[in-house]
Amino acid sequence: MALLGISLIVASVVLLILRRPEWLQQFWRSLYRQASQNQLPRPPQRPIPRIEEPKPEDIDKVSEKKKKKEDEERIAVPEKKVVSPPPPPPPTVVIQENGTTDNPDSPREEQTTPKASAANPSDSVPAFTLSVPELPQQQPKVEEPAVTSSSLSTSTSSSSTASPSMMMPPPPLPVPAAARGGGGLSANLTRQPGTSTLPLPNRPSGGPLPNRGPGGGGGGGGGGSGGLFPPPTHSTKPAKPSRAVVLTPGHSPLDWARLSGHPTADLRGLPKETPYLRVTPSILKKMTGRKGKDAWMVLGGRVYNITPYIPFHPGGEPELLRGAGRDGTKLFGEIHPWVNYEGMLAACLVGIYVSEEDGEAALAAAAAAAKSSGASTGEGMDEMD
Ligand code: HEM
């Protein structure tokens, strides 16, 4: 009889575990809540053995027999139920309750395995609420078209926040360029003083520019119709027509480079051993390239014999001789400052340009050198004396 009673008790316990009636789960919940309030970090499986009714260890052994009876009575459940009483889901659910302070719904508790379910979907949006306040701040700044600003959800707000930083400044308006077209002369002038950088980017996209007119460095004559893009120094219509001459064969710039570029080239027109001379103004003014004399020219404080270069000068002999017998530095710079005269005339270097006092000694030395060589330049030097 005792055995039968025990078996009945065990059977009832097992049945309770399997069926999990509603009142039992609520009972467990309340128990676990009390326990969790006492100490928060608590393993979920702790309260289980307390709640269980007094179960002697012997019962486990006997329960196998009683199991068959239960099958006959109610449900056909395999041996799992006795071997391992399933850990009740309520503990895990209770943990969630501590955070949300809400009681879970009863029908959801029927799940055997606890699943993460959004108990309060309305509360799970704090991440979006953070980005929301940024929208009203930046929308007035950007002034975007209606496409992006109309329907902006919280997710797209991040993209909208990135766009203003990437956006370029407002494009140059064509209107001021057109308005500026009226004042033809002011085109070049306005670029230099005030808006130094702004007009430049406008130029390619702004359509026709105002007339460059006679101002600037280039547009000399009728520059009114032309002058779209090139700056004044590179205008399509040069101020003066090209004065370049047709060089005779064998006198191209490349030929001059080949002739004067040789290391041993000596085109000074002086005896080879003659040192660099101190050329005074009185000497220089006689070396004009006329009357059988060489043409000397001062460029940058140095005196060059430009005689051998005459047939190579792209500007022609008359132009080149304009600077002969004098200091042609200024004239040279006015016409073609980009020309590297130092390199081109290195083999033609006679000496340095000095004052009369400083050049007396040099004059005597040069005269002596000229007498010893008897060259044509020697005659010139004699005349200088
Ligand atoms: C100071 C006296 C000089 C005058 C008045 C003079 C004048 C000229 C002129 C009118 C031109 C033609 C420019 C054109 O294409 O329209 C020219 C071109 C040229 N001259 Fe002279 N020149 C002088 C001295 C020199 C000297 C000493 C050299 C050599 C170092 C030289 C080298 C050149 C070169 C290389 C060109 C061609 C430039 C170019 O095409 O860009 N010139 N010169």
103-121 pLDDT, tens digit per residue, is 444 444 455 676 676 655 5
- What is the rounded CA–CA span in Å between residue 91 and residue 89? 6
What is the whole-number distance in angstroms between the Cα of residue 317 and the centre of ligand 1? 10
Give phi and psi for 254, each to the nearest 5.
Answer: -70, -35
pLDDT, residue 61, reads 52
The class of domain 253-384 in CATH terms is: alpha beta
What is the whole-number distance in angstroms between the Cα of residue 111 and the centre of ligand 1? 100
Beta-carbon count within 10 A of 291 CB: 9
Pairing of strands 296-299, 326-327: parallel
Q: Where are the domains of the chain?
A: 2-105, 253-384
Give start and end residues of each alpha helix (H) in 192-288.
Answer: 199-205, 253-260, 281-284
Question: Mean pLDDT over all residues of the chain?
Answer: 66
- pLDDT of residue 12 exceeding 60, the answer is yes
CB-neighbour burial class of residue 110 (10 A; exposed 0-12, middle 13-18, buried 19+): exposed
254, 287, 312, 339, best to mutate for ligand 1 pocket (most atoms within 8 Å of CB): 339
Which of 158, 161, 216 has its CA nearest to residue 184? Answer: 216
- pLDDT of residue 251 exceeding 80, the answer is yes
Would you say the ipTM is above 0.95? yes
**Cα 128 off chain centre by:** 32
Mean pLDDT in residue range 222-226:
46
The one-character DSSP state at 278 is E
Task: Give yes or no for a contact between 275 and 365, defined as CB atoms under 8 angstroms apart.
Answer: yes
233, 251, 319, best to mutate for ligand 1 pocket (most atoms within 8 Å of CB): 319
Which of 261, 294, 279 has its CA nearest to residue 376? Answer: 294
List, for residues 113-159, the tens digit of each pLDDT value: 766 766 555 555 655 556 545 444 444 444 444 434 333 333 434 43
**Cα 176 off chain centre by:** 29
Q: What are the distances in angstroms from CA 268 to CA 2, 275, 299, 309, 323?
A: 141, 11, 15, 11, 17
Nearest atom within ligand 1 for CA of residue 340:
30
- What is the rounded CA–CA span in Å between residue 286 and residue 326? 9
Residue with CA closest to ligand 1 atom 28: 341
What is the whole-number distance in angstroms between the Cα of residue 303 and the centre of ligand 1? 17
- What is the rounded CA–CA span in Å between residue 306 and residue 44? 106
pLDDT, residue 146, reads 41
